[in-house]
Structure 1
């Protein structure tokens, strides 16, 4: 009877080992996805980040990159701990899983919080950013971001093209008589911003603020979903780790 119990426990341990190994392989791949989402957010959309009044969106992306990198390292550690059956490595692995879990939940929570306050922040800041910083000295990144925003989303001004009438650059000699920046034009050419007729420039209801808000909200959903989704999967990994750890404690060395 005792021999049967020992064999049964050994088989259970082997099953746990392979389950945990499979989990770690998938976990390692998920870490790459998490890190890729964070890097893509920062590299591809870095211009738009400069137009946001808060660093919460950027912080969420950085947290995902950090969590993704740790996940990939942890996945390798988990495989080693599983097959070497070392309880010390399993403890380290469990602590790392817990830290990553907290990081990804934090990224998801930050994304959700910013999701709630984004509309008001954009309303208060985007127009001021456009009219005060566009084409100003040492604000080239803002100018580039605004031009990209207006061309990519086919819009003009924060709320409407009329916002540009208050622009410091438009009202100065540097504006050369333009009514709107050339990036507002449907076919951008030098000095095309002298004519703000609907046939020449984008007249979008709600202006660029509506377009940018929709874009950021969609990406916040992705960041939040990735962070919380991977965090939930990690709970399974922590359960497997605890089970394997307990089974190793009763086995002879």
Structure 2
């Protein structure tokens, strides 16, 4: 009877140990972001982003469990653990493929929904309620940081609030170093940023979608390697 390849066994262990370590790091950082007030302040995490942090906690936990199953299955030559690892990794790969297909199919609808959301948010810039004022103050910081104005129509989105000031800085007002650049236009005797922030937000999503696709392809390759390792080792143990 053929024995189990030591090279395959230890390669499987090292692969899954690194996989498990990644899960530990993701889980640890995610829990720190979720419970630490200082982390939330430093990273500017509010309640609207907690869902993303919770998702990271779930992902880190799943990766840790799969890494543990892979490591123990390889070292103990456990067919049960290896098949559980294989099934879990295969399900993740299938979910990635389905998510990619849905993203491609509904891409135009996602862009339409994003544009509708921007139009709804733009109404808050013209409102005078207490909640809208909190949003306006935060958005003004976003404008200064990203050198943009308004969300869809530029300064028009602010309506009658356009001439208000937050601190010593008027809404959409260009920094002095930017006043003679293509970023600014002259309006009501002051220079303001001409690019709507909606363009910045959409470009941000498009840029990060490319990054996410690259990460997804990289993960898919790693997952396929893991599937190959686990099934090869499983078959060797079965023939032993």
TM-score (norm 1): 0.66
Paired residues of 2:124 and 2:136 also in contact (CA < 8 A):
no
- Alignment pair present for 1:136 and 2:129: yes
Once the two structures are overlaid, the 10-residue window that deviates more, 99-108 or 12-21, is: 99-108
Return the alpha-carbon distance in structure 1 between the equivalents of residues 53 and 221 of structure 2: 19
Return the alpha-carbon distance in structure 2 between the equivalents of residues 132 and 13 of structure 1: 64
- Alignment pair present for 1:155 and 2:153: no
Return the offset for 1:196: 4.9
C-alpha distance after superposition, 1:72-105 (max 9, x if no partner)? 2311221111000111111222222123323444
Q: What's 1:218 paired with? A: 207
Paired residues of 2:164 and 2:171 also in contact (CA < 8 A):
no
Alignment RMSD (CA, Å): 4.1
- Alignment pair present for 1:201 and 2:170: no
Aligned-partner SS, 1:185: coil
Of 230, 234, 237, which residue of structure 2 is paired with 1:241? 230
Once the two structures are overlaid, the 10-residue window that deviates more, 179-188 or 237-246, is: 179-188
- Consecutive unaligned residues of structure 1, counting only runs of 5 or more, are 1-5, 189-194
Return the alpha-carbon distance in structure 1 between the equivalents of residues 129 and 28 of structure 2: 34
Q: What's 1:146 paired with? A: 139
Of 184, 189, 193, which residue of structure 1 is paired with 2:172? 184
Paired residues of 1:111 and 1:224 also in contact (CA < 8 A):
no
Return the offset for 1:243: 1.0
Once the two structures are overlaid, the 10-residue window that deviates more, 80-89 or 178-187, is: 178-187
Aligned residues: 219
Return the alpha-carbon distance in structure 2 between the equivalents of residues 73 and 141 of structure 1: 42
Return the alpha-carbon distance in structure 2 between the equivalents of residues 87 and 117 of structure 1: 45
Return the offset for 1:161: 0.8
Paired residues of 2:165 and 2:171 also in contact (CA < 8 A):
no
Per the alignment, do residues 35 and 116 of structure 1 end up closer, same or farther by CA in structure 2, a change over 3 Å counting? farther
Per the alignment, do residues 60 and 154 of structure 1 end up closer, same or farther by CA in structure 2, a change over 3 Å counting? same
- Consecutive unaligned residues of structure 2, counting only runs of 5 or more, are 35-39, 177-185
More strand per residue: 2
Per the alignment, do residues 208 and 107 of structure 1 end up closer, same or farther by CA in structure 2, a change over 3 Å counting? same
Return the alpha-carbon distance in structure 1 between the equivalents of residues 165 and 75 of structure 2: 69
C-alpha distance after superposition, 1:190-242 (max 9, x if no partner)? xxxxx9547442222xx111111111211222233223421231111111111
Per the alignment, do residues 208 and 19 of structure 1 end up closer, same or farther by CA in structure 2, a change over 3 Å counting? same
